[in-house]
């Protein structure tokens, strides 16, 4: 069609370079299912309102059936000359069914068409990613449920702070991914809104039934009411849904990246807290002893890529006047890559953490291996229960600030003697404050410290059991 240019209006053909520059078919063909779904719904509605004959509609649906099969079977000939997914499919439709194919575009523009396609495509991808976020949470909850009594040094500033349960630490990530899933649901709601009917920018003179199209495409709210873009200019130019999605995706990746960083630190020889299965590590071509945590490292690295896509999309939108501009064709590659990166990363993390789930028995195998003794040793080395000694003195009547100072002296002496606070003799401890009695050793133990933090959200095993039960019920896992 464009050998001679777009239409009779054009006096010269496009150069090959410009064709290549302006074409998007080689990446936007990925939208074909959404494009065909949108065309089917549009044709169905054109017939319902009396614009298209029953015969023409039937021809269009039949032609689109065949095109679906051709694309599925990889027998569809995508043509650069036809610029994008929309024009490729429309041209093929007309080749297959003649004039009926030429009537499909009545009351429609590629501007509302592409906005609809991207929204439909993204809506379904969000559902897939949402499910994967639940899988990652389920994996974390599963490992947590088996490690409630395992004690890890909790850090602030990466300095040993207070003992925490390893389960508690993992459940912190469950909270993050839970919020991420909620954010995605929220983005989905706004994404699942219909632009079709906006036509090029101003609406259309045909009596289109937009509500019917929205319902056909499942663009409805929880009550089944159609969700329709209310302003035609906004409908064709809005891409905030894509930006929002990429922002939500960036946060998912930031959480994955923080977890990756911890996995990497925990599995280094100097910590030795965990191991991940060999299939998620790689060796070195020179150092025979190495097993490197490539998967978490790459995930940390790919976070930059997704955050980059957010910057790309948000910058793409800045400065665009209403309504549609071709700039928006550039929304696709960052969006596609964000979805691919997120999907792969979440799939790998669910398995790397929780192992493979046997659907029959519900048993998991091959997830992370926990070295409880190494974690506990590390907690003992860092005077993690110093706060507990201060709290103990407060219970004996000392003001907290004085107790803090007293314990600082005790820690200093313990460091000098090369022992833990719990290894000091009762007489030595009593030098610091005469109110100290034999029950101090319970407070100074890691387990005593853990058990003491029994307020909502605290690390006491009793609290963690409640949290795990709540997550299991929410995620419908045992
Ligand atoms: N390929 C275009 C895009 O992705 C489709 C819309 C083109 N519309 C137009 N008036 N040039 O945005």
CATH, domain range 16-106: 1.10.275.10
C-alpha 189 to ligand 1 mean position (Å): 24
* Nearest C-alpha neighbor of 173 from the set 30, 349, 402, 392: 349
Residue 68 CB neighbour total at 10 angstroms: 17
Cβ of 24 below 6 Å from ligand 1: yes
C-alpha 111 to ligand 1 mean position (Å): 6
Candidate from 187-191, 220-224, 275-279, 295-299 with smallest mean pLDDT: 275-279
Nearest atom in ligand 1 to the alpha carbon of residue 83 is: 1
Cβ of 151 below 6 Å from ligand 1: no
Does the pLDDT of residue 2 top 60, yes or no?
Answer: no
C-alpha 165 to ligand 1 mean position (Å): 54
Does the pLDDT of residue 478 top 50, yes or no?
Answer: yes
CATH, domain range 380-475: 1.10.40.30
More confident residue, 314 or 357: 314
Cβ of 459 below 6 Å from ligand 1: no
Question: Positive or negative CA dihedral for 22, 25, 31, 35?
Answer: positive
C-alpha 227 to ligand 1 mean position (Å): 23
User: What is the per-residue pLDDT for 287?
Assistant: 85
Tell which one of 121, 324, 326, 333 to mutate to probe ligand 1, the residue whose CB is within 8 A of the most ligand atoms.
326
Cβ of 467 below 6 Å from ligand 1: no
pLDDT tens readout for residues 150-167: 999 999 999 999 999 999
User: What is the per-residue pLDDT for 32?
Assistant: 98
Nearest atom in ligand 1 to the alpha carbon of residue 324 is: 10
Tell which one of 7, 84, 113 to mutate to probe ligand 1, the residue whose CB is within 8 A of the most ligand atoms.
84
Cβ of 449 below 6 Å from ligand 1: no
Cβ of 108 below 6 Å from ligand 1: no
Cβ of 111 below 6 Å from ligand 1: yes
Q: Which residues pair with residue 165 across a beta bridge?
A: 151
C-alpha 241 to ligand 1 mean position (Å): 17
* Nearest C-alpha neighbor of 119 from the set 68, 190, 185, 181: 190
CA distance linking residue 461 with residue 373, whole number of Å: 18
Q: Which CATH class is domain 112-365?
A: mainly alpha
C-alpha 83 to ligand 1 mean position (Å): 9
Does the pLDDT of residue 279 top 50, yes or no?
Answer: yes
User: What is the per-residue pLDDT for 373?
Assistant: 97
Q: Mean pLDDT across the chain, nearest whole number?
A: 95
pLDDT band for position 1 (cuts 50, 70, 90): very low
Nearest atom in ligand 1 to the alpha carbon of residue 332 is: 4
User: What is the per-residue pLDDT for 339?
Assistant: 98
Cβ of 116 below 6 Å from ligand 1: no
Candidate from 70-79, 115-124, 186-195, 417-426 with smallest mean pLDDT: 417-426
CA distance linking residue 343 with residue 338, whole number of Å: 8
Cβ of 85 below 6 Å from ligand 1: no
- Positions marked active-site: 157, 284
User: What is the per-residue pLDDT for 6?
Assistant: 77
User: What is the per-residue pLDDT for 368?
Assistant: 95
Q: Which residues pair with residue 282 across a beta bridge?
A: 292
Q: Which residue puts its alpha carbon closest to atom 12 of ligand 1?
A: 329
User: What is the per-residue pLDDT for 5?
Assistant: 64
Cβ of 110 below 6 Å from ligand 1: yes
Does the pLDDT of residue 3 top 80, yes or no?
Answer: no
Show me where the domains of the chain are located. Answer: 16-106, 112-365, 380-475
pLDDT tens readout for residues 367-416: 999 999 999 999 988 899 999 999 999 999 999 999 999 999 999 999 99
The whole-model pTM stands at 0.95
Cβ of 84 below 6 Å from ligand 1: yes
Domains 112-365 and 380-475 are alike in CATH topology: no
CA distance linking residue 116 with residue 104, whole number of Å: 16
CA distance linking residue 250 with residue 335, whole number of Å: 12
User: What is the per-residue pLDDT for 285?
Assistant: 85
Nearest atom in ligand 1 to the alpha carbon of residue 200 is: 10
pLDDT tens readout for residues 105-143: 999 999 999 999 999 999 999 999 999 999 999 999 999
CA distance linking residue 270 with residue 264, whole number of Å: 11
Give a three-class secondary structure readout of the chain. Answer: CCCCCCCCCCCCCCCHHHHHHHCCHHHHHHHHHHHHHHHHHHHHHHHHCCCCCHHHHHHHHHHHHHHHHHHHCCCCCCCHHHCCHHHHHHHHHHHHHCHHHHHCCCCCCHHHHHHHHHHHHHHHHHHHHHHHHHHHHHHHHHHHHCCCCCEEEEEECCEEEEEEEHHHHHHHHHHHHHHHHHHHHHHHHHHCCECCCCCCCCCCCCCCCHHHHHHHCCCECCCCCECECCCHHHHHHCCHHHHHHHHHHHHHHHHHHHHHHHHHHHCCCCCCCEECCHHHCECCCCCCCCCECHHHHHHHHHHHHHHHHHHHHHHHHCCCCCCCCHHHHHHHHHHHHHHHHHHHHHHHHHHHHHCEECCCCCCEECCCEECHHHHHHHHHHCCCCHHHHHHHHHHCCCCHHHHHHHHHHHHHHHHHHCCCHHHCCHHHHHHHCCCCCCCHHHHHCHHHHHHHCCCCCCCCHHHHHHHHHHHHHHHCCC
C-alpha 115 to ligand 1 mean position (Å): 9
Side-chain half-sphere exposure of 172, counting CA atoms within 13 A: 13
Does the pLDDT of residue 91 top 70, yes or no?
Answer: yes
Q: Which residue puts its alpha carbon closest to atom 2 of ligand 1?
A: 329
C-alpha 160 to ligand 1 mean position (Å): 56
């Amino acid at each position: 069609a464009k050998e001679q240019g777009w239409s009779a209006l054009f006096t010269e053909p496009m150069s090959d370079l410009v064709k290549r520059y302006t074409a998007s078919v080689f990446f936007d063909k990925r939208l074909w299912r959404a494009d065909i779904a949108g065309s089917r719904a549009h044709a169905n509605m054109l017939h319902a309102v009396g614009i298209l004959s029953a015969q023409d509609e039937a021809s269009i649906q039949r032609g689109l059936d065949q095109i679906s099969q051709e694309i599925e079977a990889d027998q569809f000939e995508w043509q650069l000359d036809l610029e994008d997914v929309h024009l490729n499919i429309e041209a093929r439709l007309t080749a297959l069914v003649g004039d009926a194919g030429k009537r499909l575009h009545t009351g429609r523009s590629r501007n509302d068409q592409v906005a609809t396609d991207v929204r439909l495509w993204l809506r379904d991808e969000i559902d897939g990613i949402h499910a994967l976020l639940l899988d990652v949470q389920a994996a974390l909850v599963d490992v947590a449920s088996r490690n409630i009594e395992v004690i890890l040094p909790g850090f602030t500033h990466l300095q040993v702070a207070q003992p925490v349960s390893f389960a508690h630490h993992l459940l912190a990530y469950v909270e993050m991914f839970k919020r991420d899933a909620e954010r995605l649901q929220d983005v989905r709601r706004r994404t699942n809104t219909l632009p079709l009917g906006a036509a090029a920018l101003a609406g259309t003179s045909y009596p289109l039934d937009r509500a019917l199209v929205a319902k056909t495409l499942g663009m409805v709210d929880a009550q089944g009411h159609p969700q329709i873009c209310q302003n035609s200019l906004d409908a064709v130019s809005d891409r905030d849904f894509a930006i929002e999605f990429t922002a939500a995706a960036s946060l998912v990746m930031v959480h994955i990246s923080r977890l990756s960083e911890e996995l990497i630190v925990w599995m280094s020889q100097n910590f030795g807290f965990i191991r991940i299965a060999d299939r998620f590590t790689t060796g070195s071509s020179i150092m025979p002893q190495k097993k490197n945590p490539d998967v978490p490292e790459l995930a940390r690295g790919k976070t930059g890529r997704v955050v980059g896509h957010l910057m790309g999309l948000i910058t793409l939108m800045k400065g665009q006047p209403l309504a549609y501009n071709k700039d928006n064709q550039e929304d696709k590659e960052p969006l596609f890559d964000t979805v691919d990166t997120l999907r792969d990363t979440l799939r790998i993390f669910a398995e790397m953490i929780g192992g493979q789930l046997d659907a029959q028995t519900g048993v998991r195998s091959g997830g992370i291996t926990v070295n409880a003794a190494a974690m506990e040793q590390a907690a003992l080395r860092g005077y993690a229960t110093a706060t507990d000694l201060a709290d103990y003195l407060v219970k004996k009547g000392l003001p907290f600030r004085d107790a803090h100072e007293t314990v600082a002296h005790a820690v200093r002496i313990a460091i000098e003697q090369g022992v833990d606070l719990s290894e000091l003799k009762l007489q030595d401890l009593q030098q610091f404050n005469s109110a100290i009695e034999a029950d101090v050793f319970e407070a100074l133990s890691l387990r005593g410290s853990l058990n003491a933090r029994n307020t909502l959200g605290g690390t006491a095993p009793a609290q963690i059991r409640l949290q795990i039960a709540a997550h299991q019920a929410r995620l419908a896992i045992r």
